[in-house]
Amino acid sequence: MIRLFVPLLALALSTSASFLSQTPIAFGAGSSSELSSTPFGDSPVRVLTHESHPEHSLIINAHNSIEPLVKGDQPSLADVCPGATSGYTGYLKSGPKHFYFAYFESRTNTASDPLVLWLNGGPGCSSMMGLFMELGPCTVNEGGDSARENPDSWINAANVFFLDQPIGVGFSYSTNHSAPGGQGGTFAASEDIYAFMRLWYKAFPESKSLPFSIAGESYGGHYIPVFAEHINEMNKIATPDEQIPLESVLIGNGIFSDAKQGSSSYDISCTNVTGIGPLLDETVCSRMSEAVGRCEYLLSACHDYPDPLICQASAEFCGEELDMPYVRSGRNYYDISKPCDGYLCYPIINSVTKFLRTDKVRNAFGVDPEAPQFQGCSNKVGEEFSKVNDYIIDTRPYVAALLHSGIRVLIYVGTYDWICNFVGNERVFGSLKWNGMPDFRYQQENNKQAWSGGLWWESGLLRYVRIHGAGHMVPWDKPVEALHLFKAWLEKKALQ
């Protein structure tokens, strides 16, 4: 999920492009640390600390798919979320910051299946949307009173945890009211993610032997390359037993470069590249066509000279000329085949919100009483990202750095998305500056291969997959195909 207009219209007026000067900050490379309480004695809760991260602690509640977490009338996690396996919910605490997570063991082989961290985008959208709408063990029913088992959950093939980040999103919160969330944008969050992973492995050393991947969608095209590259950099200075076994990243319908992707709303709206276009009439499209060149020029000017004056102008021009005509048509921004119906265009989003606002679900999922009422996406967090110009960060160099470090990259894109569409994604990856670029571009132009869900191609460590007829949230629209491509990727197999 990505918030509408954010990439193009909500750029900030702040004068400093502070992201340009951010560099990873090294944590002390400490060694041993003690569990501060006996794991799972009488209490289902344990608290972990790590001497390298003195400001952090991890609070873990075990949930068991059979035993209720709280004895008595309280429903267990699996009662409210049918299909849930055993696992944990909890918080990573860092000073006033509390990051919520929910973890589920693989339905197949928890001791050998990979470990996957799932992140929704926004910025400001909760990973609980991914859990309860897309790929978690259960899916919320229409109306929001209950949930049903998701037979195509990604936990069929991996141990998966869902993390709400940054602070201020979903069930994650801060007790510091001067910094309620999103401050500092993507780079600030990457340090917390790294600390979270270090504490995770301290808590669950057995998961160190499992290949680790970070997966997500949409604004995940910003988060994941930056977070993964931060882990990768930290691994280079960590001792072997402190290294995080990062193996791959998976990004669905991502936004990597506004400059490269911004004008592609023309292609989706005004051509038949989707197979169901054009979507807008000829007079509207001829005006849009005239604006494409100028929009691209302005976006690249903002990219090269990230001054708020230039970026604001380019955002306004491209938004008004290339995005508004589509938005006014009343179609869903995330799925061109559907009308925009309700909050964020899908009725199911209100159902998930209603479900997650009940005490029954909050208790079963170990949500702190202090955590705010659930919201699918936080506008306040989005505004904080605007203040540091986070939207115009170009994450392509981070993707290239991952590929050069031997980390596999999967890009998958539903062809019916409008907001982070496949045309823009293919412009990004057909021109990505890395060693494998010439061959990847050749594959993209000349050697697309068919699979049951659409087309795909790859070169070296970079694979690109189109899912025909899926919108922005691929596992919601095409659950069987999404699980199929996820499994093939983890098993390092060709797609069939």
Stretch that binds ligand NAG, among 77-85, 174-182, 254-262, 292-300 (CB under 6 A): 174-182
Q: Amino acid identity, residue 225?
A: P
417 tagged catalytic? yes
Q: Please tell me which residue in 417, 459, 477, 484 is annotated as part of the active site.
A: 417
CB 156 within 8 A of CB 144: no
Q: Minimum distance between the CB of residue 335 and ligand NAG, rounded to whole angstroms?
A: 17
Rank residues 178 and 496 by Cβ distance to ligand NAG and give the closer one: 178
Rank residues 72 and 275 by Cβ distance to ligand NAG and give the closer one: 275
Rank residues 274 and 443 by Cβ distance to ligand NAG and give the closer one: 274
- Return the residue of 16, 74, 112, 176 that touches ligand NAG, per CB under 6 A: 176
Helices (H), 319-418: 324-328, 347-356, 359-364, 379-387, 396-404
**Cα–Cα distance, 89 to 98 (Å, whole number):** 13
- Does residue 188 interact with ligand NAG by CB under 6 A? no
Stretch that binds ligand NAG, among 59-67, 173-181, 287-295, 344-352 (CB under 6 A): 173-181
- Does residue 239 interact with ligand NAG by CB under 6 A? no
- Of the candidates 495, 472, 471, the one whose C-alpha atom is nearest the C-alpha of residue 483 is 495
31 tagged catalytic? no
- Return the residue of 275, 369, 446, 493 that touches ligand NAG, per CB under 6 A: 275
Inter-CA distances, 111 with 73, 209, 210, 399, Å = 32, 9, 8, 29
Inter-CA distances, 100 with 205, 259, 365, Å = 20, 33, 10
Would you give the DSSP letter of residue 239?
A: -
Rank residues 38 and 178 by Cβ distance to ligand NAG and give the closer one: 178
Q: Amino acid identity, residue 415?
A: T
- Does residue 96 interact with ligand NAG by CB under 6 A? yes
**Cα–Cα distance, 134 to 470 (Å, whole number):** 12
Q: Minimum distance between the CB of residue 448 and ligand NAG, rounded to whole angstroms?
A: 15
Q: Please tell me which residue in 50, 63, 472, 484 is annotated as part of the active site.
A: 472
300 tagged catalytic? no
- Packed helices 396-404 and 220-237: angle between N→C axes, nearest 10 degrees: 40
Number of residues near ligand NAG (by CB under 6 A): 7
Quick note: the x/- pattern for ligand NAG over 405-444, rule CB under 6 A, is ----------------------------------------
Inter-CA distances, 419 with 4, 49, 90, 249, 444, Å = 8, 41, 33, 21, 22
Q: Please tell me which residue in 65, 218, 264, 459 is annotated as part of the active site.
A: 218
- Does residue 272 interact with ligand NAG by CB under 6 A? yes
- Does residue 74 interact with ligand NAG by CB under 6 A? no
**Cα–Cα distance, 51 to 47 (Å, whole number):** 14
Residues 286-315 that bind ligand NAG (CB under 6 A): none
Q: Taking the CB of residue 2, how many other CB atoms lie within 10 A of it? A: 31
**Cα–Cα distance, 314 to 317 (Å, whole number):** 5
- Does residue 95 interact with ligand NAG by CB under 6 A? yes
User: Measured on CA atoms in the order 459, 461, 464, 467, is the torsion positive or negative?
Assistant: positive
- Does residue 271 interact with ligand NAG by CB under 6 A? no
Which spans of this chain sit near ligand NAG (rule: CB under 6 A)? 95-96, 176, 178-179, 272, 275
Catalytic residue numbers read 218, 417, 472
